Amino acid sequence: MGEDDGNIADMNAPLANPLYHHWRTVANARGGTLAVREVASGREWSFADLHELAVHAPPSPAVLHAPACGLGLVIDVLRAWRDGTVLVPDDGTGMPAPPPELLGSDVCHLKITSGSTGTPRWVKFRAEQLAADAAQIVATMGLRTEWPNLGVISMAHSYGFSSLVLPLLLYGVPLLLLDNPLPETLRRAMRTTCPLTLPAVPAMWQAWDRVSLDFTPIRLAISAGAPMPVALEAAVFARTGLKIHNFYGSSECGGIAYDRTDSPRDQATLVGTPMAGVTLALDPASGCLQITSAAVADGYLHPDPSTATAGGPGGGTWLSQDLARLDGQGAVHLLGRAGDCISVAGHKLAPAVLEEVLQRVAGVRGCVVFGVPSPNAIRVEDVVACVKLEPGTDLNLLKSALGELPTTYLPRHWWQCDDLEPDARGKISRARWREQWLAQQG
């Protein structure tokens, strides 16, 4: 399997990317131990097998637009590292890979932003920034080679790439690949005595808890991509004793904060304390969170550099659009997005406040709150609450749950929508649903 006296040789690799050096060290050390298993088929590959596949894979183009799933993506990562080319994971949004001439000589990876607050954008990374993000995640979360990762989230997105692919290739953390996140699929994957790590998104945790899934093999549970409802976190803990750790990050800078505690949070705004190697501060002018880290990207990709605007990541810092508060213990509390606030009769309302209350109501499977122009100019905007409910759930329960809020904060419009679902990142785009509401009303 490409081994020579216990060492893996790769004499033909140009080794242009330092990450490939690191991978070869891991492959040598881990050798014939399990690296990847497809749960559905039962097929397995050792670290030596992965190395052999990478060595004999075809040459990479200057920009490798990689498929978004499974072992193929892992091998494409290694191809790009081997050849010193740029990897562009295809996340299914249909955005074409950019031409090579737009990329700098040091760029090795492009991530795509979620687009939840606007048009998705490519973000540029060098090898050392990817390595820093992986190091911070492994150190902060305590990932272990004896606790394989369950792969239920997209590896093409920043969360999955940094939590699944990089720990596999740079730290030897095995990966168990699942075809889908359905409860029965996860149940089949957990039929093992091996301790497991499970990174997921809130919608998945909700679906699994709804059917009372047994999480016995899970030693480390993580939730990211969207705010984790405290009621759901507490319910899983009460039923199983499993603590779900909230993870907060961004495509522009990787991991930002992590809830290291062993008991459920009691504040929805709390997302954790800074990741190892990450320094956080509040921008006095905007109240937004500023991140300083070796994992911060080099900036957005602009077709014409002369049109680039300030405010993107670069130089080891990034000013996010997340309004935040840092408490006396240094923990991060998120207060909404700078552009999401709703203006109602002279008041500024953070939609996340209403969403957190609604998510606590039994029967609410999803919700998003946004503002739309009000016919009353003095009022400025009206609040719309879009909700997905379990069959038989009384909408009046939701209205009662908001009863203690000021009347100006209460939704003027309730929209029951069975199509309301988070995307592959676990996010629900306010901009998208606001547009759909306005189109429906128009």
User: Assign residue 94 a region: left if phi > 0, alpha if psi is -120 to 50, beta otherwise?
Assistant: left
Residue in the block written with tokens 């240094």: 330
Classified as helix, coil or strand, 300 is strand
**Which architecture, in CATH terms, is 340-441?**
2-Layer Sandwich (3.30)
Task: Supply the pLDDT for residue 15.
Answer: 56
Task: Supply the pLDDT for residue 92.
Answer: 73
DSSP assignment, residue 95?
P
**Cα 190 from Cα 196, distance rounded (Å):** 8
Taking CA 427 as the corner, what is the angle to CA 65 and CA 405, rounded to the nearest 5 degrees? 165
Task: Supply the pLDDT for residue 152.
Answer: 95
**Cα 242 from Cα 234, distance rounded (Å):** 9
Burial of 101 (0-12, 13-18, 19+ CB in 10 A): exposed
**Cα 381 from Cα 27, distance rounded (Å):** 57
142: number of Cβ within 10 Å: 12
How do strand 86-89 and strand 63-66 relate by DSSP bridges?
Answer: parallel
> If you average pLDDT over every residue of the chain, what do you get?
89
Residue in the block written with tokens 């093409």: 156
E runs forming strands in 183-238: 196-200, 218-223
Q: Taking the chain, what is the end-to-end CA distance rounded to the nearest angstrom?
A: 63
**Cα 73 from Cα 91, distance rounded (Å):** 11
Q: H or E segment at 77?
A: helix 70-83
CA-to-CA separations, 222 to 58, 264, 441, in angstroms, rounded:
36, 12, 39
**pLDDT tens digit string along 149-182?**
999 999 998 999 999 999 999 999 999 999 999 9
**Cα 286 from Cα 214, distance rounded (Å):** 44
E runs forming strands in 24-174: 34-38, 44-46, 63-66, 86-89, 109-112, 122-125, 149-151
Q: H or E segment at 355?
A: helix 351-359
SS3 track for 325-340: EECCCCCEEEEEECCC
Domains of the chain: which residue ranges?
3-335, 340-441
Answer whether CATH 3.40.50.300 is correct for domain 3-335: no
User: Assign residue 375 a region: left if phi > 0, alpha if psi is -120 to 50, beta otherwise?
Assistant: alpha
**Cα 313 from Cα 291, distance rounded (Å):** 9
**Cα 267 from Cα 265, distance rounded (Å):** 6
- The order of strands in the sheet holding 109-112 is 63-66, 86-89, 109-112, 122-125, 299-300
Q: What is the DSSP string of 83-94?
A: HT-EEEE--SS-
The tokens describing 1, both together, are: 């399997």
Sequence letter at residue 421: E
Task: Supply the pLDDT for residue 307.
Answer: 41
Residue in the block written with tokens 């006296």: 5
Task: Supply the pLDDT for residue 100.
Answer: 83
pLDDT < 70 regions, the chain: 1-15, 68, 93, 114-119, 302-311
